[in-house]
A and B are shown apart, each in its own frame.
Chain A
C-alpha cells in the first residue's frame, strides 16, 4: 500500500513537472493595482504571455503602494525579490538612492538589444523619472496628475452654468457659496491627497519652490521651503472654508472619505488624480460630471504652470539571471506599444505616457468622443516646466506626506494657524530628509 502511494506520487510529480512543454522563464511582477485597474493590468500580462512562448510574466497584487514597496524591499533583503516591482512616485527618491538594488531601465534595454528612445515619452514623465545625467531609471507605466471633477447636475440646481467650470480659487469659493446657499448640495468641494494636490501641485502650479536644490532633484542635501506665502495663504483659506462648510476634509493620505462625498452628491467639486476617472464615471450614474484643470490664484499668477506627476513606474530589481532580464526587456517593449498603452490609458484615466499613444488616441477620436479625457494631459504639458514645476524628489517622501497630513489636521482642528502648521511640517520634514541623507550617503 505504502509503496503504491509512493509510486503514485512520484508519477504525479513527474507529470506535473513535465507539464510545461518548453521551459518558460518566469518573471515575477509585483504591483499595487486592485479592482478594475488590477484586472486591466492582468490582461496586459496575459496579452504579453500569449504573444510569445519564451517568457511568462506573473503579476501578483501586493496591497497598497506602500505595502508593495515594503514587501519588495523585504524580499530583496531575503534575496527573494521579484524581477519587476511597481513603485509609486513617492518611492522614487528611495529607489534612486538604492543603486545596488536597481537595474536601470535604460541599461537593461541596451544590454538586451531592445529599442529604447527616451524622447518617445512625454516630457514631464521623462523629467520626473530621470537621474541627474538624464537617464531614465524606471519604466514609466501608470502616470497620473490631479484634476478637478465637478457635478454638473448640482451646478445647474444652484443656478450656475454647468458648462462653466470654476477656473480660479475665487471661483471655487463663489460657486461653492452659491451651491450652499441654494441648498443644491451641503458642501462645495473636497479633495483627495492633501499633500500631493493641495501642497505639492499647488506649489508647482504657482511656480513656488517646494524644496531647495530644484525640489530635491539636485541632491540629497535638499531642504523644504513649502511654508511660503502662497502655500500659507491657501491653507488659511482651506481652514476658513472648512469652518464655513464650503470645504470638507476627506481624510489623510489618499483621502478615503473624499470620493464618497462626491459620489453621494454631498460635495459638488472633487479634486483627485486623473486615474480616479474610471471610478467617478462608474459612480456618477445619477448625475453629470464635468472635468476641468485644477484651480489657481489669479492674483499670484495668470498663467499657471504644469501640474506634476503621480502614479507609479516599474523598476527592475537586481539579482536575477540574464534570461529573466531578457524577458523583462521584451515585456517593457511590449508595454510601450501604443495600442497596449492606449488601452491602459483609456480604460483607467492614467496619462498616455508616450507621444505615440496620445497621437493614436487623437486619431481614434477618443478625446473628441470622451469630453474631459484630455484635461490631464493638457494640464501636465502646458507651458515650459520650471525647476519648481518639474516635480519633487525627496527620500522618505511617504513619511513626509504623513507629516504634512498631520499638520494639516492639526490646523483643521484649530490647534495651529496655517503658517504654524506649515512651519512645523517643514521642520519635521527636514529632520526626515537629514535622516535619509545620513543613511544614503
Chain B
C-alpha cells in the first residue's frame, strides 16, 4: 500500500520544528544523565571544592558493599511482589466489575480513587494504620496473636511497603483491565459457552489471552512503578528500615546522596539504575512483546 507523503522542500524546517522537543530532552534528560555518569567516576566533597577522578572506585566499592547487594535483593522481592499482587488483585476486581451490569460505573469510580492519592499521603495513611503504638491494624492483629512491629521486624516492614505500594497501583491497573475486558468480543465467549465451556475455562482460554496486550503493557508499567516510583511511599512508611530491610535501590540513591552527601557513590548508583532501566525495556520489548498477540 502506498501512502501519500507530504514533502517539505525546506531541509531546515523539520529540525526547527523538532528543536523545542530536542532541547527539552537534552536539558532535562540527557544533560543530567551525563552529569551523573561524570560524577560516578569522581570523588568529591559535598561542597564541590575538591574533585578527584578515581576511575571505577565508586563502582567497585558499590558492588563490594553488602548493603548495596541487600538493596538489590530487596528491590527484586519488592518489585515482583508489588507487580504480582497489584496486577492479580486488579484483574480480579476488573473481572468482578465487568460482570456487574448496573452499578459498574459506581464501582469503577470508587476503585479509581486511590490513584488520585499522592504517594507520600499513601505512605502516611498506611504508616498510621500500621503504627505499632497507635495503629488500628497492630491492635487487631494482636487479637489473633500476631505481634506486629515493623519498626523491628524486617519482614513486617517489607509486607507493609508492599501492601501500601500495591494498593496505590491497583486503581491504575484496574482501569486498564476494565477497558481491556470490555474490548473482548462477546461473541467469542458466547460461542464458547454454547460449546459447553464453564466460566473458568472461558476466562483462561479466551479472555485472558485476548487481554495479553494490556497485561504486557501493565507489566512494564508496574515493574517500573515498583522500582522507581515508590520512593515517597517508602520514605513515609519505613524510611528504608529497620536495618535496611526495605531499602530499595532508588531509596538508597536518595539516602546516600541527599542524606549522606556521598555524591560519587550516589551517582554511580543512579548510573546502575539507568542501565537496569535500559536493559529491562530492551528485554521486554525484544523478547516478551513478540509472544504477545495483539
Contacts and interface: CB of A to CB of B under 8 A. Distances in A.
Given A73-B47, A406-B241, A409-B241, 6 more contacts: A69-B261, A94-B46, A97-B45, A257-B132, A413-B152, A440-B50
Given A70-B261, A409-B241, A439 B152 contact: no
Contacts of B258: 66-67, 70
Interface residues of B, number: 29
Name which of B46, B154, B241, B262 has the most chain A CB atoms within 10 A of its CB: B46
A99 B153 CA distance: 42
B259 A439 contact: no
Q: Categorize the interface residue count of chain A.
A: 35 or more
Interface string B276-290: 000000000000000
Contacts of B244: 406
A413 B47 CA distance: 38
Given A73-B261, A435-B262, A439-B43, A410 B243 contact: yes
B49 A100 contact: yes
A405 interface: yes
A438 interface: yes
Contacts of B43: 435, 438-439
B260 interface: yes
B171 interface: no
Nearest to A428: B67
Nearest to A253: B239
A5 to B, nearest CB: 27
A399 interface: yes
6 contacts: A100-B47, A250-B151, A252-B242, A402-B260, A409-B151, A439-B45
A66 B255 CA distance: 10
A73 B154 CA distance: 33
A398 B239 CA distance: 14
B131 A413 contact: no
Interface in A304-352: none
Interface in A420-441: 432, 435, 438-440
A260 B134 contact: yes
A432 B243 CA distance: 17
Interface in B129-184: 131-134, 151-154
A251 interface: yes
A379 B45 CA distance: 36
Interface of B: 43-50, 52, 131-134, 151-154, 239, 241-244, 255-256, 258-262
A261 B133 contact: yes
Nearest to A261: B133
A169 interface: no
Given A70-B258, A98-B46, A406 B242 contact: yes
B47 A257 contact: no
Interface string A242-284: 0000000111110001001100101000000000000000000
A409 B46 contact: no
A70 B45 contact: no
A147 interface: no
A200 interface: no
Nearest to B151: A251
Contact of A413 (B134, B153, B260): B153
Contacts of A232: none
Contact of A402 (B47, B52, B153, B259): B259
A101 B261 CA distance: 15
Contacts of A435: 43, 262
Interface of A: 66-67, 69-70, 73, 76-77, 94, 97-101, 249-253, 257, 260-261, 264, 266, 396, 398-399, 402, 405-407, 409-410, 412-413, 415, 432, 435, 438-440
A396 B133 contact: no
A138 to B, nearest CB: 15
A224 B133 CA distance: 34
A114 to B, nearest CB: 26
B176 to A, nearest CB: 36
B242 A413 contact: yes
A100 B49 CA distance: 8
Contacts of B152: 249, 409, 412-413
B261 to A, nearest CB: 7
Contacts of B151: 249-251, 257, 409
A398 B260 CA distance: 6
A261 B138 CA distance: 15
Nearest to B44: A439
Given A409-B241, A413-B243, A98 B47 contact: yes
A97 to B, nearest CB: 7
Given A257-B132, A402-B255, A440 B45 contact: yes
Contacts of B50: 439-440
B260 A257 contact: no
Contacts of A70: 258-259, 261
Given A70-B261, A261-B133, A399-B259, A406 B243 contact: yes
Contact of B261 (A94, A99, A252): A94
A266 B258 CA distance: 35
A396 B261 CA distance: 8
Q: Of A67, A260, A402, which is in contact with the most chain B CB atoms at under 10 Å from its CB? A: A402
A248 B44 CA distance: 40
Contacts of B241: 251-252, 405-406, 409
A100 B47 CA distance: 9
Contact of A77 (B47, B133, B153, B243): B47
A409 B242 contact: yes
B262 A257 contact: no
A150 to B, nearest CB: 18
B48 A77 contact: yes
A101 B243 contact: no
A70 B255 CA distance: 11
Contacts of B132: 257
A98 B243 contact: no
Nearest to A187: B133
State the 8 A-B residue pairs at the shortest beta-carbon distance, nearest first: A409-B242, A399-B260, A409-B243, A410-B243, A406-B243, A98-B47, A101-B47, A439-B45
A99 B134 CA distance: 46
B133 A399 contact: no
